[in-house]
Amino acid sequence: MLSPQRPNENACSHRRFRVLPLTLETGEVLPTLVDFCSWIPVRVATRWVVRRRRWRSMPSTLANDLRSLGLLYSWASDALEGELDDLLEDGQPITGMQIEDLIAFLRVGGHVVDINRATISGSNTVARHASVIRDFLKWAVDLTSQGRRPQMVSFDEIRHRRACLDEAFHAITRQSGGSQRIRPLTEEEVTRVDGLIGPRRKGDGGLVVPLQFASANPFRIETRLRNWLMYAIAIHSGLRRGELLKLRLDDLPRPDSPGLKIRRRAHDIADARRHRPGVKTVERVLDLSGEVRAGLRAYLTNRAPSGRAAGGSPYLFVTTAAQALSITAANEVVGVIARSTQIDDLSWHSFRHTWAEALAEELLTQHREEETLALLRTLGGWKPRSAMPLHYTQNAMARRASVFLRERNERLYNTAGGQR
């Protein structure tokens, strides 16, 4: 439920908008954009959430999108003669000059607006806000999308208006450069992490059974097996942090269904965590390595203190009190690993990037680039048209090209007797 606070006079001297979480009876968390002075939800943005974006994104992504729309509504409250919702509901398009004024507001004026954490800083951030606003306005052009009685506007006119919006926002949205990519771990760093938190191994590299952990392991006995399993699944199967935390006991491999199931469960009533993790994109089923399977058997069958705490939680990874592990607790786990291994930029996503880089390298040795991309998208849970796997294939091809050039130059040098 919404818990409004009484806004002060200074806050209402300018129209401000806030994003608040609305929890429905089904357990779904529905972010809602409200006027900070009246606490009334804005109409068209709410329809956009309910009718379009609600089923296509996680609540956290949806909240970020609404913060961008909060900037649009804040600009409109000062720049337009009427209410933005009224104009959109009447099918009146925003003109090119108004869009130019909006873009100027995003670039230099948005910092005066207090949209929860919707800060304006740098071209990438401005481009992201502009992209969300553009897509929202394109959606609102068709009144049937809003669930309203359509006016006499032809499909050709709707396509024309959307094309005009694309053109008007093109200059600012194309400024979105490549963000700082999370660095994959080197082989030495992976070995360092394995040696720190992994179980003891025999001379041939196999696990010592029953599983044992070194005394130098930075975690308590109660959490060592759990934390290693989370790391092992992440780096062996490329799972995101939210996907790890959302795993349930009924997702685990069974004799009749041997794969690990990655399911969305965007509106999971059983999840009582304050900040619910989520499966970001595509569901999938993944095979697990023998080591991970052995670790899961030990985690589920061992008694305290090393095994999984017994309790009513349906989730795989739990605290010692048998409560579902929170995002904050998971971040603390990787923080301990980072400090202990002196890998300052380590995060859960580092393991996913390491997995994807290695997988792309191996796939390219057996498949063409197009097939490698398709396999990466399937195994990594990316959407069919996602461009993200392309980064990994390009990096793998660049490494192969560097190796080839180095070997070629060495052959030329040796052929010439070292005189080239």
Are β-strands 17-23 and 29-35 bridged in parallel, bridged antiparallel, or unpaired?
Answer: antiparallel
Do residues 321 and 313 make contact, with C-beta atoms less than 8 angstroms apart?
no
Share of residues in the chain with pLDDT > 90 (%): 49
Do residues 32 and 49 make contact, with C-beta atoms less than 8 angstroms apart?
yes
For tokens 């490329």, name the residue.
238
Instruction: Check pLDDT > 70 for residue 414.
Output: yes
Looking at the DSSP bridge assignments, the partners of residue 20 are: 32
Higher-confidence position of 398 and 123: 398
A 10 A CB-CB count for 15 gives: 18
Is there a cis peptide before residue 305, judged by omega within 30 degrees of 0?
yes
A 10 A CB-CB count for 108 gives: 11
- How far apart are alpha carbons 416 and 106 in whole angstroms? 61
pLDDT in tens, 91-107: 888 888 899 899 888 88
Alpha helices in 174-315 (DSSP H): 187-197, 221-237, 241-246, 290-301
Residue 253 DSSP SS3? coil
Instruction: Check pLDDT > 90 for residue 343.
Output: yes
Mean pLDDT, residues 8-13: 50
Residues in CB range of 52: below 8 A, 6 or more apart:
139, 145
Do residues 22 and 29 make contact, with C-beta atoms less than 8 angstroms apart?
yes
Instruction: Check pLDDT > 50 for residue 162.
Output: yes
Q: What is the structure's pLDDT at 388?
A: 85
How confident is residue 413, by pLDDT bands cut at 50, 70 and 90? confident
Mean pLDDT, residues 323-341: 95
Q: What is the structure's pLDDT at 143?
A: 86
Instruction: Check pLDDT > 60 for residue 14.
Output: no
Do residues 380 and 356 make contact, with C-beta atoms less than 8 angstroms apart?
yes
How confident is residue 109, by pLDDT bands cut at 50, 70 and 90? low
418 backbone φψ class: left, alpha, beta (φ>0; ψ -120 to 50): left
Mean pLDDT, residues 71-85: 89
Do residues 352 and 238 make contact, with C-beta atoms less than 8 angstroms apart?
yes
Question: Cα torsion for 219, 221, 222, 223, to the nearest 10°?
Answer: 30
Among 257, 264, 328, which Cα is nearest to 286's?
A: 257
pLDDT in tens, 302-322: 988 889 998 889 999 999 999
Higher-confidence position of 265 and 47: 47
Mean pLDDT, residues 360-389: 90
Q: What is the structure's pLDDT at 175?
A: 57
φ, ψ (nearest 5 deg) of residue 116: -40, 105
How confident is residue 251, by pLDDT bands cut at 50, 70 and 90? very high
Q: Give, rounded to a whole angstrom, the gap between the first and last alpha carbons of the chain.
A: 76
- How far apart are alpha carbons 278 and 5 in whole angstroms? 29
Mean pLDDT, residues 67-93: 89
Mean pLDDT, residues 333-357: 95
Q: What is the structure's pLDDT at 16?
A: 82
Which two tokens mark 1?
A: 């439920």
- In order of their start, the domains of the chain are 11-173 (no CATH), 187-353 (1.10.443), 356-415 (no CATH)
How confident is residue 6, by pLDDT bands cut at 50, 70 and 90? very low
Residues in CB range of 210: below 8 A, 6 or more apart:
298, 302
Mean pLDDT, residues 354-361: 94
Instruction: Check pLDDT > 60 for residue 3.
Output: no
How confident is residue 25, by pLDDT bands cut at 50, 70 and 90? confident
Residues in CB range of 292: below 8 A, 6 or more apart:
229, 232, 233, 236, 237
Q: Describe the crossing of helices 221-237 and 348-364 by its angle, rounded to 10 degrees.
A: 40
Mean pLDDT, residues 355-362: 94
Instruction: Check pLDDT > 90 for residue 244.
Output: yes
Mean pLDDT, residues 287-295: 93
- How far apart are alpha carbons 406 and 404 in whole angstroms? 5
Q: What is the structure's pLDDT at 336?
A: 96
Do residues 230 and 244 make contact, with C-beta atoms less than 8 angstroms apart?
yes
pLDDT in tens, 210-239: 999 999 999 999 999 999 999 999 999 999
Q: What is the structure's pLDDT at 310?
A: 87
Mean pLDDT, residues 385-401: 87
- How far apart are alpha carbons 180 and 197 in whole angstroms? 28
Residues in CB range of 339: below 8 A, 6 or more apart:
none
pLDDT in tens, 171-209: 887 655 545 678 899 999 999 999 999 999 999 989 999
pTM: 0.70
